[in-house]
Amino acid sequence: METPERTVMERMEQGTAPPPEAETPAACTFEVKNLSIWYGEKRAIDNVTLGVASNAVTAIIGPSGCGKSTFLRALNRMHELTPRTRMEGTVLLNGDDLYSSTIDPAIVRRRVGMIFQKSNPFPTMTIGENVVIGLRLNGVRNQKFLNERLEKSLRMAALWDEVKDDLHKPGTSLSGGQQQRLCIARALAVEPEVILMDEPCSALDPIATAKIEELIHELKAKYTIVTVTHNMQQAGRISDYTAFMYLGRLIEFGPTTKIFTNPTEKQTEDYITGRFG
Amino acid sequence: MAVAASIAVEERSVQARMASPSRFGDKAFEWLTLAMALAVVVLIILIGWQLWIGSSVAIKKFGFHFLVTSTWDPVAEQFGALPFIYGTLVSSLIALLIAVPLGIATAAYLTELAPLWIRQPLTSLIEMLAAIPSVILGLWGIFVMIPWLRDYPFPWLKRLFGWTPFFSGPIYGPCMFAGGIIIAVMILPIITSVSREILRSVPDLQREAAYGLGATRWEATRIAVLSYAKKGLFGAVILGLGRALGETMAVTMVIGNTPQIAASLFKPGYTLASVLANEFTEATTDMYLQALFEIGLVLFGITILVNLLAQLLLRTIATTSAKRAVLASAIAFISAVLVIAPLGLVFFHLVVNGASSLNWDFFTKLPAPVGAVGGGMVNAIVGSLELLALAGAIGIPIGVLGGVYLAEYGSARINSVLRFLADVLNGVPSITWGVVVYGMVVLRFKGFSTYAGGLALGLIMIPLILRTTEEVILLVPNGYREAALALGVSRWKTIVHIVMKTASKGIITGILLALARVGGETAPLLFTAFGNRFWNHSLSQPIAALPLQIFTYAISPYDDWHRQAWAGALVLVTGVFCVNILVRILTRGHTASVV
């Protein structure tokens, strides 16, 4: 498992790796093959193939409406919440077909956590309840176990020291940045294999943003992270790989350093240098 | 060590649990809520079917003549409904003539002219007026309004307009005109609040366009605002008409209850709803009962048509940003005062007459035997609570879960049909529910019962709770649903534990309002719960209820019972208002929080 992954990453870093669809499956947490998604008649994702490297941060960039959020949501089947969606292609998570007819979307989402643009702690719950609600609603009753997970998750989300004395306070009493980290702790508590982040910092001030970025960097050791961002500097700072999407198509995908310094495609270069459109 | 081991075991069992699929729960919950939402369809069919079955023999025997002949003679088995149809239409027309100008002018005052600080309290007061049970307004009508009308405005009207047929003849007191006035008081709140919503929804652009053409303030109002809102205001009027046609208790108590067609408004009349209220329990022959069921069918038919029309007119109004209408401010202000005045007067008389008759016996003793002085209404108070518990057991789960279906599941088209039917059901006169439950339960099981009363009230609650639940659940931001689903929580658990919990204050508010509304209902209990002077020992026996007892005592010939009716009314209205105030406190916190 380890060896091929390293080789692929090294090759990709050197810029000599072939396009990701040719990668060996073992290197990637997600393998997306020929993914297309329609909202009614409108095609939001057009035949995207890409591999998401394990224990790395993959950023998806592109102008608004390019399908980056839809792509992210397709990785844990959240896009199905929109009525009249249709998909083609396959998405493999560590080899399992996420769209197999025998798999419950709820199971997919337990394995693939998600953080949203606007922090959304449940308003009727305390900080502590917010963190363990995912476990609790999935039937976990052992209080000792829940307490353990609570502390572990909050520590991983770098929030424990700030809230350990206020666990009984409402989740909504925290500041915006703290709320977002609370949401991260909530997602971590169910121990997913991957964390998806949909513009996690776009509603935060620079200081809170810096904290989240730092957190993303730390979480990488344990989790595979896919993030959508409209902020190219952020993508450059936090990600190992970058995918540029435009009009539902994947234009270019590769190591972040290469995408930002030496893009292959003219469209990518135009976008990252601000000459787009 | 032991702790670590138990955690490890727990870890494995958690992993097993987290991987187990839970689709059954999702399907089951969706089907359950769908079944509850379909209750509105079932109820509409049930009403129509029950009324049709109950009156099929009469329909066959009298045919179209039932609607156009005016002999109502139960002894000779001659039944013609024309006087009742006439009385219903005329009393409703009088009510509209009074309530429409007052209601729309008040709405204009509330949206534009009133100082900002007074708008909210005034609106709340008008909503309180809507919460006064019909039977209490009737009580006030008998003992306060009618004597006053008879002594002052009626003689004056007769002097001025006595030469027309409308105001000729002797003045008795209870009459068509009094019936119209009391209905006007009953429908003013709904006309005012719906008109207010509509005037608020007129976009600014409309008025600015008129100003741009050089219109004055009044011209802008007339051309832009009122003409823009014309259709919606007409819808409000029709909605008021729907209520007026089905209004039962208050009218029954003041209209005189004489089946005749007379030009003079000072003569007594009779309405469809009133004849049901008065004669249903006296119907001794099958044909008499059949004829009354047919009256119920006619009433249901008329109100449902009127309500359909109102819903269609109101449907097109998008309630968006605020805007205002301007009328001559003095008229609007006086209208507002006139709308509020009945509330103040009713409350004043309730306190004056009721408080002096309230004593410890009232809350602890059974009613005194006929002719004896003293006694209390403890059985009616307990009976009302029992009926409410029963009604809640039926109405709350069906209404809440049905509302969840409309908000969370279902296609847009099906939902709009269900929503529409629920709105139509909310316009069905409450006495109709009494007739339907009479046919369903009382006739079938051969006796008035607590079950029947509770069922009638419960059925009324269903569409009320369904609509408020739907509305508050739709207010829950989508982010919470997504957050829960992204944690791998199944859909139904997300709805129950996250969405409904977030909306719980609003749902409880809807439930409380529905309980307050049916707690004051009399008409549906007249021939279901029936009333009882003693303790009720079994749910299959008749039971007393506070509104019923007030009605019985109010129309009795004994002074002591009149005093007790006032006391009962004070207790009932205090209960209803307490719930309303509680709701206001709840919803205030509600708007301040996230949702």
- Start-to-end CA span in chain A (Å): 42
Residues of B with CB under 8 A from a CB of A: 3, 6-7, 10-11, 14, 17-19, 21-23, 477, 479-491, 493-494, 497-498, 501-502, 504, 593-595
Distance CA(A21)–CA(B128), nearest Å, equals: 68
Contact B479 A111 (CB under 8 A): no
**Rounded Cα–Cα distance for residues A81 and A109 (Å):** 13
| CA–CA distances in Å: residue A260 to residues A198, A231, B316 | 21, 13, 53
Tokens encoding A140: 């976990």
Residue B47 has pLDDT above 80, yes or no: yes
* B457, pLDDT greater than 90: yes
Distance between CA atoms of residues B206 and B224, nearest Å: 6
Structure tokens at B17: 């649990």
Mean pLDDT of B271-298: 92
Q: Specify the pairing of strand A112-115 against strand A194-198.
A: parallel
**Residue B328 confidence class, pLDDT cut points 50, 70, 90:** low
Q: Say whether A104 and B23 touch across the interface (CB within 8 A).
A: yes
**Residues from chain B contacting residue A104 (CB–CB below 8 Å):** 21-23, 490
Interface touch B7/A113, C-beta < 8 Å: no
Which positions in chain B touch A113 (Cβ < 8 Å)?
Answer: 486-487
Who among A81, A106, A116 is closest to B489 (CB)? A106
Q: Which chain B residue's Cα is nearest to A187?
A: B487
- Hey, what's the torsion of the CAs at A63, A67, A73, A74, to 10 degrees? -150
pLDDT at B535 > cutoff 50: yes
**Residue contact A76–B484, C-beta within 8 A:** no
Find chain A residues with C-beta within 8 A of B502's C-beta. 122-124
Q: Does residue B22 register a pLDDT over 70?
A: no
The set of residues, in sequence order, having a beta carbon less than 8 Å from that of B542 and lying 6+ positions away, is: B447, B448, B449, B450, B529, B530, B531, B532, B536
CB contact under 8 A, B19 and A120: no
- The label of the residue with tokens 């953080």 reads A115
Structure confidence at residue B228 (pLDDT):
78
Lowest mean pLDDT segment, chosen from A140-149, B302-311, B316-325: B316-325
Query: pLDDT by residue for chain A (277 residues), tens digit each?
Result: 334 444 444 444 444 444 444 333 346 899 999 999 999 889 999 999 999 999 999 999 998 888 999 999 999 999 988 888 999 999 999 989 999 888 888 889 999 999 999 999 999 999 999 999 999 998 888 999 999 999 999 999 999 999 999 999 999 999 999 999 999 999 999 999 999 999 999 889 999 999 999 999 999 999 999 999 988 889 999 999 999 999 999 999 999 999 999 999 999 988 888 876 5
* Whether A134 and B488 lie within 8 Å, measured CB to CB: yes
- Cβ contact, residue pair A122, B480, below 8 Å: yes
For an interface test with B, the pick among A102, A120, A191, A197 (most B C-beta atoms closer than 10 Å) comes out as A120
In the structure encoding, which two tokens stand for residue B384, read together? 């009302």
Give B240 to chain A, closest Cα distance, Å. 38
Do B502 and A114 make contact, defined as CB atoms within 8 angstroms? no
The average pLDDT across B198-221 equals: 73
- B326, B280, B564, B314: which is closest to B443 by C-alpha? B280
Number of residue pairs across A and B with CB atoms under 8 Å?
108
pLDDT level of residue B13 (50, 70, 90 thresholds)? low
Question: Over 50: is that where the pLDDT of B363 sits?
Answer: yes
Contact between B138 and B572 (Cβ < 8 Å)? no
Once rounded to an integer, what is the mean pLDDT over residues B289-300? 94
Identity of the residue in A103, A113, A135 whose CB atom sits nearest the CB atom of B14: A135
Is the CB of B483 less than 8 angstroms away from the CB of A122?
Answer: yes
Q: Is B261 helix (H, G, I), strand (E, B) or coil?
A: coil
Residues B508, B511, B517, B521, Cα dihedral to 10°? -140
pLDDT at B570 over 80: yes
| Residue A66 Cα, gap to closest chain B Cα (Å) | 21
- The reported pLDDT for the residue numbered A16 is 44
The reply to whether residue B485 touches residue A186, judged by beta carbons under 8 angstroms, is no
Contacts of A110 in chain B (CB under 8 A): 18-19, 487-488
> Which 3 state secondary structure label does DSSP give B152?
coil
Which helix H or strand E contains B345, and what residues bound it?
A: helix B329-349
pLDDT at A20: 46
Q: What share of chain B is helix, strand, coil (3-state, %, to 5)?
A: 75, 0, 25
Given a cut of 60, whether residue B205 has pLDDT beyond it is yes
Query: Tokens at residue B150, please?
Result: 């008879």
Would you say B396 and B469 are in contact if contact means Cβ atoms under 8 Å apart? no
pLDDT at position A91 = 94
Say if the Cβ atoms of B504 and A124 lie within 8 Å.
Answer: yes
Strand partners, A194: A112, A224
CB contact (8 A) between residue B17 and residue A109 = no
Written as six digits, the tokens of B439 are 């046919």
pTM to 2 decimals?
A: 0.86
A41-55, B112-126, B372-386: least confidently modelled range? B112-126
Helices (H), B133-229: 134-140, 146-151, 153-161, 176-200, 204-212, 217-220, 227-228
Bridge partners (DSSP) listed for residue B543: B530
Query: CA B224, CA B215: separation in Å to the nearest integer?
Result: 10
d(CA A238, CA B141): 76
Mutate to test the interface with B, among A132, A137, A143 (most CBs of B within 10 A): A137
CB contact under 8 A, A78 and B594: no
Residue B200 has a pLDDT of: 81
pLDDT recorded at residue B374: 84
**DSSP characters for B405-450?**
HHHHSS-HHHHHHHHHHHHHHHTS-HHHHHHHHIIIIITTTTS--H
How many angstroms away from the CA of B494 is the closest CA of chain A? 8
Q: What is the pLDDT of residue B372?
A: 80
Q: What is the DSSP string of chain A?
A: -HHHHHHHHHHHHTT-PPPGGGS-GGGEEEEEEEEEEEETTEEEEEEEEEEEETTSEEEEE-STTSSHHHHHHHTTTGGGGSTTEEEEEEEEETTEETT-TTS-HHHHHHHEEEE-SS----TTSBHHHHHHHHHHHTT---HHHHHHHHHHHHHHTT-HHHHTT-TTSBGGGS-HHHHHHHHHHHHHHT--SEEEEESTTTTS-HHHHHHHHHHHHHHTTT-EEEEE-S-HHHHHHH-SEEEEEETTEEEEEEEHHHHHHS-SSHHHHHHHTT---
Of A109, A116, A192, the CB nearest to B479: A116
- Smallest Cβ–Cβ distance between A142 and the set B10, B23, B477 belongs to B10
Which residues of chain A have a CB within 8 Å of the CB of B481? 81
Confidence of residue B332 (pLDDT cuts 50, 70, 90): confident
Q: Are B465 and B438 in contact, with CB atoms under 8 Å apart?
A: no
Output the average pLDDT for chain B.
87
Amino acid at B378: V
Which strands make up the sheet holding A112-115, listed edge to edge?
A112-115, A194-198, A224-228, A57-61, A241-246, A249-255
Residue (of A108, A111, A72, A38) closest to A196 by Cα position: A72
For chain B, report the end-to-end CA distance as a whole number of angstroms.
46
